[in-house]
């Protein structure tokens, strides 16, 4: 892949950064091995994102892609890298990913309840993948036969207008992945609920074109539909490899978990806040339990404790950047910095 010529990752020429083979374990043939976990199976948007991230690393030593059956399984997998879908143009934040990044944090104890391997994972990069869904069925199934539609909840949400228009009575069934939903049509021959369809990527539809028919293309609500993926790097057992592609300059961002809404503006007052997602807090302290059981409550947080996933612009000046990080960690936890981005041109070149 030919990358645009511009400032490299972190402003440092790629020749000065460690090559992939400079880090990691060696196999019997002397090659260094790394792994990258993503939402499988073959043909998912997660695989496309993983391939795009992988292409930014040195080709001398391959990175093995590890398909996982669900987003939570990605989080549970020990790997050098983890690829997560973070947000979508139409359907917003991916709650499963946010739960993985946030729900293991206890506001009273910070990250102390996580094992060391999970605590070492940090966001290091991102990309925006164009998303276009196809409605597929088993060979021979007609539009009028469809009683239900199966896919990942994000794909179902992004295609809600299409479904309401063309299949208003169809039952919606969630599935861990879009490609998995397509494969399930092939493997699941039980028609107790009638014949069904699945929403998946064009890649998955082509992969199984001998067994599946495409009835519709572009079922998502808008044409410029993107899913943003983030790449997490694991620093626990060994230093991870560094990307060796030259990247154009862009505004890098930092990510934090903040347990109080009132602290967000105060601690990032000199930073540009780009994104905020909220999820229920997993706190189970005696204090919180007492508040939830009380007959009266004054503040929302007493019965609806929340964690906030906050994204802010990283300061270009190193001193300002360290100040932002320090302020953010006074009331929360640093989750990483998207220091480089796979460009549209790089994605299209794959």
Residue 138 has pLDDT above 50, yes or no: yes
| Structure confidence at residue 29 (pLDDT) | 57
In 131-194, beta strands by DSSP E: 133-138, 146-151, 171-174
Q: How far is CA 62 from the centre of its chain?
A: 22
pLDDT confidence tier of residue 12, bands split at 50, 70 and 90: very low
Residue whose C-alpha is closest to residue 228's, from 3, 45, 43, 4: 45
Residue 288 has pLDDT above 80, yes or no: no
- What average pLDDT does this structure show over 197-204? 93
Residue 23 has pLDDT above 50, yes or no: no
C-alpha distances in Å from residue 114, one per residue of 167, 203, 217, 278: 44, 36, 43, 20
Residue whose C-alpha is closest to residue 39's, from 15, 10, 58, 65: 65
- Determine contact, residues 283/305, Cβ cutoff 8 Å: yes
- What average pLDDT does this structure show over 242-260? 79
| Structure confidence at residue 188 (pLDDT) | 76
**At CA 212, angle to CA 211 and CA 214, rounded to 5?**
155
Across the chain, what does the average pLDDT equal? 80
SS3 content of the chain, % helix, strand, coil (to 5): 30, 30, 40
- Determine contact, residues 240/173, Cβ cutoff 8 Å: no
- What average pLDDT does this structure show over 312-322? 66
Rounded distance between C-alpha atoms, residue 49 and residue 92, angstroms: 18
Q: Which domains does the chain carry?
A: 9-130+226-348 (3.40.190.10), 133-217 (3.40.190.10)
| Structure confidence at residue 120 (pLDDT) | 80
The DSSP call for residue 87 is E
| Structure confidence at residue 139 (pLDDT) | 94
Half-sphere exposure (CA, 13 Å, Cβ side) for 174?
7
The DSSP call for residue 215 is E
Rounded distance between C-alpha atoms, residue 58 and residue 304, angstroms: 46
- For residue 317, say if its preceding peptide bond is cis, omega within 30 degrees of 0: no
Question: Based on C-alpha coordinates, what's the Rg of the chain?
Answer: 22
Residue whose C-alpha is closest to residue 140's, from 206, 219, 215: 215
pLDDT single digits (tens) 31-72: 668 899 999 998 999 999 999 999 988 877 689 999 999 999
309-320 exposure pattern, b = at least 16 Cβ within 10 A, e = fewer: bbbbbbbeeeee
Residue 134 has pLDDT above 70, yes or no: yes
pLDDT confidence tier of residue 294, bands split at 50, 70 and 90: low
Rounded distance between C-alpha atoms, residue 198 and residue 149, angstroms: 5
Half-sphere exposure (CA, 13 Å, Cβ side) for 329?
11
What is the per-residue DSSP string for 295-333? S---SGGGTS-EEEEEEEEPPSSHHHHHHHHHHHHHSSE
C-alpha distances in Å from residue 262, one per residue of 177, 267, 302, 307, 331: 36, 9, 14, 12, 10
pLDDT single digits (tens) 220-247: 988 899 999 999 998 755 556 677 666 6
- Determine contact, residues 134/199, Cβ cutoff 8 Å: yes
Instruction: Compute the CA torsion angle 204, 206, 207, 211 (nearest 10 deg).
Output: 100
Residue 22 has pLDDT above 50, yes or no: no
């Amino acid at each position: 892949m030919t990358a645009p010529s511009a400032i490299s990752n972190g402003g440092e020429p790629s020749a000065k950064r460690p090559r992939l083979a400079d880090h990691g374990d060696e196999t019997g043939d002397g090659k260094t091995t790394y792994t990258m976990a993503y939402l499988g199976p073959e043909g998912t948007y997660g695989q496309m994102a993983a391939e795009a991230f992988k292409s930014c690393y040195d080709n001398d030593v391959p990175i093995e892609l590890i398909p996982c059956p669900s987003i939570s399984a990605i989080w549970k997998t020990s790997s050098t890298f983890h690829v997560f879908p973070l947000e979508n143009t139409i359907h917003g934040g991916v709650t499963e990913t946010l739960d993985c990044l946030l729900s293991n944090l206890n506001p009273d104890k910070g990250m102390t309840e996580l094992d060391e391997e999970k605590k070492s994972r940090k966001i290091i990069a991102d990309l925006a993948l164009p998303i276009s869904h196809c409605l597929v069925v088993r060979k021979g199934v007609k539009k009028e036969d469809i009683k239900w539609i199966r896919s990942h909840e994000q794909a179902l949400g992004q295609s809600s207008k299409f479904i309401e228009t063309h299949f208003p009575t169809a039952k919606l069934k969630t599935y861990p992945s879009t490609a998995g939903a397509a494969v399930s049509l092939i493997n699941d021959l039980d028609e107790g609920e009638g014949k069904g369809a699945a929403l998946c990527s064009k890649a998955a539809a082509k992969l199984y074109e001998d067994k599946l028919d495409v009835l519709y293309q572009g079922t998502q609500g808008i044409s410029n539909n993107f899913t943003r993926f983030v790449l997490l790097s694991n620093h626990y057992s060994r230093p991870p490899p560094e990307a060796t592609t030259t990247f154009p300059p862009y505004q890098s961002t930092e990510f934090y978990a903040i347990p109080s809404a009132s602290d967000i503006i105060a601690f990032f007052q000199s930073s540009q806040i780009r994104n905020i997602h909220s999820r229920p807090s997993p706190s189970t302290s005696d204090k919180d339990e007492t508040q939830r059981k009380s007959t009266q409550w004054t503040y929302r947080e007493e019965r609806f404790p929340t964690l906030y996933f906050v994204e802010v612009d990283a300061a270009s000046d190193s001193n300002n950047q360290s100040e932002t990080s320090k302020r953010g960690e006074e009331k929360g936890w640093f989750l990483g910095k998207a220091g480089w981005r796979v460009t549209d041109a790089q994605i299209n070149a794959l």
